[in-house]
Amino acid sequence: MGLRICVLLIFFSTLTFAQKVKWASQVISVSSEYKDPLLGKEFRAIHALGRPSKYPKMVASPSAWQSLTPDNPDGEYIIVAFDTLMLIKQVAIFENYGAGTISSVEGLDQNNKIYPLKSFPSGYNTSGSQVTTIRLSSKTNFRLKSLKISFNSMRVKGFSQIDAIGISDSDEPIEQSIKLFADPNAFMARENLGNFINSKFNEICPVVSPDGQKLYFTRWKHPDNYGSNKNQDIWVSTWSASDKLWNKASLFSPPINNDENNAVCGITPNGKTLLLNNVYGKDGTMEKGVSFSFLLRTGEWSFPKALKIVNFKNKSEFSEYTLAPNGKVLLMTTETKDSFGGKDIYVSFLNSDDTWSEPRNIGSSVNSGEAESTPFIAPDGVTMYFSSSGHVGFGNNDIFLSRRLDDTWLNWSLPENLGPIVNTPQWDGYFSVSAKGDYAYFSSTENSLGAEDIFRIKIPEKAKPLTLVQMNGQVINQKTKEQMPARIVIKSKLNPLDTLSIDYDPYVGDYSFMWPAKKPFSVQIKKQGFFNKAENFDFSSTKSFTSLIQNFVMQTVEPNKSYSLANISFDQGKSELKQGFEIELDKVVQILLENSTYLILLEGHTDNQGDWNDNLKLSIERVDNVKAYLTKKGIDSSRIKTKGWGGAKPIANNLLEDTRRVNRRVEFMLIPME
């Protein structure tokens, strides 16, 4: 399957004004709307909502409202509402095709009382596409909630379209609030990656690994490519920190490359799983879809495994894919009956049976009546870059940024155009960034060595992904001092449902993951036969990308041996568990769940201060509180034995408080059932 060629990407700058502009947010009623059983939601009234899609180059578009028939003698109308009550001074109607059919505009307040705003004579239009504006001499004496726009469609032959409807409390032209500005020097910011990456052939679709150490791209028609047709193959280069450049690219080996078209869509944060376009047949054939390839212990890559996506149907010939850093969320472009127009961006989630859920449309904030393409989820898991011709832009397809607003993956911020240092008058797409968020990579024919070349630019501050922390390291057996396999679970302290899991295999190198710095998190290491380990981390004050090495040492669980609960402490004379005890006791719960043939003996201790009998009673109360927590977590009380020792078994000097507090403890021992 072929890939769309990506072209020049070049920073954004938009004007903001003090004026308050509101765009229509709801269709209350409409006389008719164009429908075609072969299309999705193109031309529907919903496309008159929100910001315009075709300004300033206003042309006919499926991302606009169009009536069912072109010339209706009975006329047409649309009533739209706004998400606020507002005294207005201006109305702007974006007639992007067939302008000249508006006959009147009326305002409605919250009680649906109608106020005439303006009547339009025949021939008011100055061109076939224009912003038709109503400017009032003073603000309305009522708070506008809705607008009714009536049309005489016989005035202009053929279809007419409304792209957007805005209101403002200012004299400042509404279109100024969305105006984009060109930068004649923008091309100077681009850096050609040179002849180690580029050639006289086509280099397209670059994807930089999250750690910024590998650059994957597709090379087309190169004589070293596989097959007689020299279709698109994947090439890869590694970053040389000493030389501060990319090393000479090499051709990726089979089976990732074959005689058909091949491309990398994404890489997991640890660099050990590739997301590949298409489904690979054992006979070398390819089908629509997406696949995983895994790095094996041998250092080779596995034969691509197709992702099974429930009810995945695609009317379009091309689809693009991007994988979230947690490996559990897949974004894709596809066209279905519920698409707003052309290809939309959809989301699918990993199911427990290793299938992927039926794709869901991520909504009209991002998706338009035009085609959306080349989505890329940054390593922060929040920032998405994508390409579209359905939002205000510089050319026929621009790159935009949107950020995820919640964990449903269905609510996104309004797209922001990345501006003239990114976008050109041509088709722009395939925007890829590393975790550092310093550079973006793209393809361009401008100032290339031959055909399309790979370039990079420094990312504008506003367009950078969230600051990340990268943690790397090993899990080590305390007894043998050797690395050991384990399950690593990372959890957000702010949202327990926000998790990331890694199966650590020391044979394929260190574990590695990335996490947004602003979200404190815990790391839990789990392995049967070992004590679970848990540590908390907080990098919320970190302002730039940070990489650190963090090794975890695991202790073997041995029967008939006493272990102290390290993070369980007590105030002098008190039996209540102090704050933070849950993490330590949850380790014990997990051990008991994984070792059902063992009992547990809890032993309580005190220091030597006070009466001996009182201390004995206190030590028993302490282990009883621990037992209560374990039973609350589902451990049968018959498996829990307790004993109090008072101050009879000190492990530290009782003369000083600093050492005395160590004696105020609870220990446990696993005992095989008879």
- Cis omega (within 30 of 0) on the bond before 56? yes
How confident is the model at residue 112, as a pLDDT?
96
Over residues 543-565, mean pLDDT = 90
Over residues 645-656, mean pLDDT = 90
More confident position, 93 or 583? 93
Query: How many whole angstroms separate alpha carbon 653 and alpha carbon 94?
Result: 82
pLDDT digits (tens, 9 = 90+) for 373-399: 999 999 999 999 999 999 988 877 888
pLDDT beyond 50 at 7:
no
Q: Which range among 149-158, 177-186, 528-537 shows the weakest confidence by mean pLDDT?
A: 177-186
CATH of domain 191-463: 2.115.10
State which amino acid sits at residue 116: P
How confident is the model at residue 185, as a pLDDT?
61
Cα-based angle 427, 428, 431 (whole degrees, multiple of 5): 160
C-alpha 460 chain-centroid distance: 19
With contact defined as beta carbons under 8 Å apart, do 650 and 608 qualify?
Answer: yes
Query: How many whole angstroms separate alpha carbon 1 and alpha carbon 235?
Result: 17
DSSP 581: H
Please compute, for residue 632, the number of CA atoms within 13 A of its CA located in the half-sphere on the CB side: 9
How confident is the model at residue 129, as a pLDDT?
97
pLDDT digits (tens, 9 = 90+) for 438-496: 898 988 776 778 778 888 988 878 888 999 999 999 999 999 999 999 999 999 998 88
pLDDT beyond 50 at 13:
no
* Confidence (pTM): 0.81
C-alpha 368 chain-centroid distance: 19
pLDDT beyond 90 at 337:
no
Domain boundaries, the chain: 21-171, 191-463, 468-554, 563-672
Q: Is the dihedral of CA 109, 112, 118, 122 positive or negative?
A: positive
More confident position, 503 or 148? 148
How confident is the model at residue 265, as a pLDDT?
94
Mean pLDDT score of the chain: 89
How sure is the predictor about 16, in pLDDT bands with cuts at 50, 70 and 90? very low
Domain 468-554 -> CATH class? mainly beta
pLDDT beyond 80 at 75:
yes
Enumerate residues 6+ apart whose C-beta is below 8 A from 88: 107, 136, 139, 140, 144, 167, 168, 169
SS3 sequence of 416-477: EECCCCCCCCCECCCCEECCCCCEEEEEECCCCCCCCEEEEEECCHHHCCCCEEEEEECEEE
For the chain, how big is the Rg over CA atoms in Å? 32
How sure is the predictor about 259, in pLDDT bands with cuts at 50, 70 and 90? very high
b/e 534-572 (16+ beta carbons within 10 angstroms → b)? beebebeeeeebeeeeeebebeebeeeeeeebeebbbee
How confident is the model at residue 316, as a pLDDT?
75
Q: 563-672 architecture in CATH?
A: 2-Layer Sandwich (3.30)
More confident position, 8 or 591? 591
SS3 of 635, please? coil
With contact defined as beta carbons under 8 Å apart, do 322 and 383 qualify?
Answer: no
How sure is the predictor about 549, in pLDDT bands with cuts at 50, 70 and 90? very high
How confident is the model at residue 583, as a pLDDT?
80
For residue 182, give the nearest of 423, 372, 371, 403 by alpha carbon: 423
pLDDT beyond 60 at 1:
no
How confident is the model at residue 186, as a pLDDT?
60
Enumerate residues 6+ apart whose C-beta is below 8 A from 114: 106, 107, 108, 148
How confident is the model at residue 3, as a pLDDT?
38
pLDDT beyond 80 at 188:
no
CATH of domain 21-171: 2.60.120.260
The proportion of the chain whose per-residue pLDDT surpasses 70, expressed as a percent, equals 96
